[in-house]
Structure 1
Amino acid sequence: MTQTLLAAAELWRPNTQSSTIDFQAGFYGECETLRGVPSQSAIALDQGPLGQVASTGQPMIIEELSELGFLVAEAAEAHGLGAAALLPSYTQGKVESILLMYFRRGADAKCAVELWAGTKGRFELSLDQSFHLGLDRFARISHYVNFPKGAGLPGQCWETALPSIVPDLATAKGFLRSSGAESDGLAVGLGLPIMQRTELRSVFLMLSSAATPIARVHEIWMEDPEKPGVLTRSQGVYGGLVDLANASNELVFAVSDKDGLPARAWSSEQPVLLDGIEAMSEAGLKRFDAVRDAGLSYALAYPVVVVDSVRAVVLLMG
């Protein structure tokens, strides 16, 4: 079974009444040492990276996991984790929750986790923060590239305020770093705009190889323009999981019934995490048999909200 570079994730929520940031949910895969850390961690609203994201609303990538606390650093060392990304979700312009994702290192791993942000006085995006594994040349190139609105994957997400999947980075005409992606073996790219009402805070990218994917399944779900309240898949990449891809072709979700992960994230306007095959079974996934047979053990749904309205849901499984 292919091990994904996305090793674990947690959902945290700022609590202004207690002036704390409270743990809500998580998935951990094989990271059992990390699983027990949140229950031992009391995080003040102004403390560490989580507090910084809660107060500024800006997403963040960190490579020094000790910034998240001593217990996290110990767990990270035990499980070979090398970086984390923190993505805020907003309700009426305020940070309602923070998705914390942990990425593992590996001797043969190749991936890029990037944040692209606007430069003051210039109408283009430049690399703001990043984590690159096994991609020295690609990383160097990235620091000299800028994306106007509509150009490349970051510029496309900026222009449309929608997420996008590039299934083959090496051959994609709209991916401006395709030659670097081809030489370094990158395959799949996911772009995710982080929007606060109508303002783009940044574009979050995850790029990985077929051999060491960040996730095994990447999907984007959007509302059917002819059937309000019904979600259909607009894009999907399945990494060779043919049965799961086939089971997804005609699938739809009703938002009003909170039917399935995309619908739950859409209706709540907040990320949803499932940890383990039992949790997936209890959630009543329509594709449960195909998910189980593929050996998947986690699912993460992240809604893209613009002006307090969900535009799309990104679903990752691994």
Structure 2
Amino acid sequence: MAIDTAVRSERDVLSGKRPFIRVTEVWVPGADGKLSLKDGLYGGLAEFEKVARETRFARDEGLPGKAWAQARPIVLKDLVGSYFKRGAAAEAAGLTCALAVPVFEGETLNAVLVLFCGEDRDHVGAIELWHTPEGSYEMALADGYYGTADVFEWTARHVNFMKGSGLPGQTWEAERPVVFADLRAPRFVRWEKAQEVGISRGIGIPVATPEPGVFVLTLLSALATPIARRFEVWSLEADGGLTLTDGFCERAGLLGAAPLRLGAGEGAVGAAAATGIPAVSADLSGEPDVIASAARIAGLATLVALPVYRDTGLAAVAVWYL
């Protein structure tokens, strides 16, 4: 099926579906040496948000603190019987799994982005963490969360990627976010299993850390429980501005051909680039026109902007919308 035809047929299916990611949080270090909540998207989970705003994490404490101390992304699938501090609140909110992504600029921690998922018998999609140890030529699955896509998870745990191969390998090679607009094609190594479970789109995001080796985060979106309705990659320009260089929207199709640009520090995406801290927005009408108009046309409500670093500094900002 052609991509534009798939877009038209999937609009109504995506509309109103519960997203794969239920909660997004941004934690930042403060003067007291602890992490505090800077911002978040809670989807109406007011009690869980209240607990978050009353919580602080020291280094190596709780999930954000562990990601800081270990200097690597962490997938935690036990929020009640583990070191996770807000277990009772998470259980009450129906949250069962979390991913913490530390954002390092060299040796300095700028923030920790935490994403929460919840159990659902229709819950299909994937958050994957891929890792290449220092000196290795292959990338293997370090951990992941797949909802009910058990067969797809088994496949992921039994495949490795060379640099340039598949979504993890291409992201490793590019050292910047890579969007796969259609996973139902041989370019995606696991395309047959992805098609079986309904996973259709994805983005690969390199995660820079002070630790040796390479980490790549992949977000794979399914039709019924989308991680995002729109993925974007904004690349840094010499003057500090950003240009849209890649992406996919369920309504607009492939992105990046039109010369869309944001000024330095403009909107949530520009702020993420300028500060090195992930940004969220729950009111896209207040964003710059290139964001607000596209969101209005596509019926998008929220965005998450994640700054992506490499050895030479900021490379791009990965953005996803619901």
Which structure has greater strand proportion? 1
**2:235 matched residue in structure 1:** 222
CA 221–246 in structure 1, closer or farther in 2 if over 3 Å, else same: closer
- Residues 142-157 of structure 1: pairs in structure 2 closer than 5 A: 142-157=156-171
TM-score (structure 2 length as normaliser): 0.86
CA 251–120 in structure 1, closer or farther in 2 if over 3 Å, else same: closer
Q: 1 CA distance for matches of 2:83 and 2:293?
A: 37
CA 284–74 in structure 1, closer or farther in 2 if over 3 Å, else same: farther
Q: Aligned pair 1:178/2:191, yes or no?
A: yes
Q: Aligned pair 1:264/2:271, yes or no?
A: yes
CA 296–105 in structure 1, closer or farther in 2 if over 3 Å, else same: farther
How far the C-alpha of 1:152 sits from its partner, in A, is: 1.2
Q: Aligned pair 1:14/2:29, yes or no?
A: yes
How far the C-alpha of 1:50 sits from its partner, in A, is: 1.7
CA 197–47 in structure 1, closer or farther in 2 if over 3 Å, else same: closer
Q: 1 CA distance for matches of 2:84 and 2:210?
A: 31
Q: 2 CA distance for matches of 1:292 and 1:30?
A: 21
Contact kept? 1:216, 1:238, Cα under 8 Å: yes
Q: Aligned pair 1:251/2:260, yes or no?
A: yes
Q: Aligned pair 1:29/2:40, yes or no?
A: no
Task: After superposing the two structures, state which structure 1 stretch, 197-206 or 57-66, moved more.
Answer: 197-206
Q: 1 CA distance for matches of 2:56 and 2:129?
A: 28
Q: Aligned pair 1:313/2:317, yes or no?
A: yes
CA 61–285 in structure 1, closer or farther in 2 if over 3 Å, else same: farther
CA 281–50 in structure 1, closer or farther in 2 if over 3 Å, else same: same
How far the C-alpha of 1:182 sits from its partner, in A, is: 1.4
After superposition, what is the alpha-carbon deviation per residue over 1:16-51, rounded to whole angstroms, capped at 9, x for unaligned? x52322221111122222211122223222312222
CA 180–254 in structure 1, closer or farther in 2 if over 3 Å, else same: same
Report sequence identity in percent. 27
Contact kept? 1:76, 1:82, Cα under 8 Å: yes
Q: Secondary structure at the match of 2:47?
A: helix
**2:217 matched residue in structure 1:** 204
After superposition, what is the alpha-carbon deviation per residue over 1:157-199, rounded to whole angstroms, capped at 9, x for unaligned? 111211111111121x332111111122110111111113795
- Residues 267-278 of structure 1: pairs in structure 2 closer than 5 A: 267-274=274-281, 276-277=282-283
**2:243 matched residue in structure 1:** 232
Q: Secondary structure at the match of 1:43?
A: coil
One-letter amino acid of the structure 2 residue matched with residue 18 of structure 1: D
Q: 2 CA distance for matches of 1:103 and 1:166?
A: 22
Q: Aligned pair 1:299/2:303, yes or no?
A: yes
Contact kept? 1:109, 1:212, Cα under 8 Å: yes
Q: Aligned pair 1:213/2:222, yes or no?
A: no
Q: Secondary structure at the match of 1:221?
A: strand
How far the C-alpha of 1:112 sits from its partner, in A, is: 1.2
**2:107 matched residue in structure 1:** 93
Contact kept? 2:199, 2:223, Cα under 8 Å: yes
After superposition, what is the alpha-carbon deviation per residue over 1:185-240, rounded to whole angstroms, capped at 9, x for unaligned? 1101111111137955411111121222111211111135xx7544221222222x
CA 74–139 in structure 1, closer or farther in 2 if over 3 Å, else same: same
After superposition, what is the alpha-carbon deviation per residue over 1:84-120, rounded to whole angstroms, capped at 9, x for unaligned? 1100111232222100111233221211111111246
**2:205 matched residue in structure 1:** 192
Contact kept? 2:285, 2:292, Cα under 8 Å: yes
Q: 1 CA distance for matches of 2:160 and 2:290?
A: 41
Q: Secondary structure at the match of 2:131?
A: strand
- Structure 1: stretches of 5+ with no match in the other structure: none
Q: Secondary structure at the match of 2:234?
A: strand
Count of aligned positions:
306
Contact kept? 2:166, 2:189, Cα under 8 Å: yes
**2:128 matched residue in structure 1:** 114
CA 247–46 in structure 1, closer or farther in 2 if over 3 Å, else same: closer
Task: After superposing the two structures, state which structure 1 stretch, 54-63 or 73-82, moved more.
Answer: 73-82
TM-score (structure 1 length as normaliser): 0.87
Q: 2 CA distance for matches of 1:266 and 1:68?
A: 32
One-letter amino acid of the structure 2 residue matched with residue 253 of structure 1: L
Q: Secondary structure at the match of 1:296?
A: coil
CA 36–273 in structure 1, closer or farther in 2 if over 3 Å, else same: same
One-letter amino acid of the structure 1 residue matched with residue 100 of structure 2: L
- Structure 2: stretches of 5+ with no match in the other structure: 1-15
How far the C-alpha of 1:137 sits from its partner, in A, is: 1.1
Q: 2 CA distance for matches of 1:59 and 1:291?
A: 29
Q: 2 CA distance for matches of 1:141 and 1:5?
A: 20
CA 159–109 in structure 1, closer or farther in 2 if over 3 Å, else same: same
Q: 2 CA distance for matches of 1:246 and 1:112?
A: 23
Q: Secondary structure at the match of 2:24?
A: strand
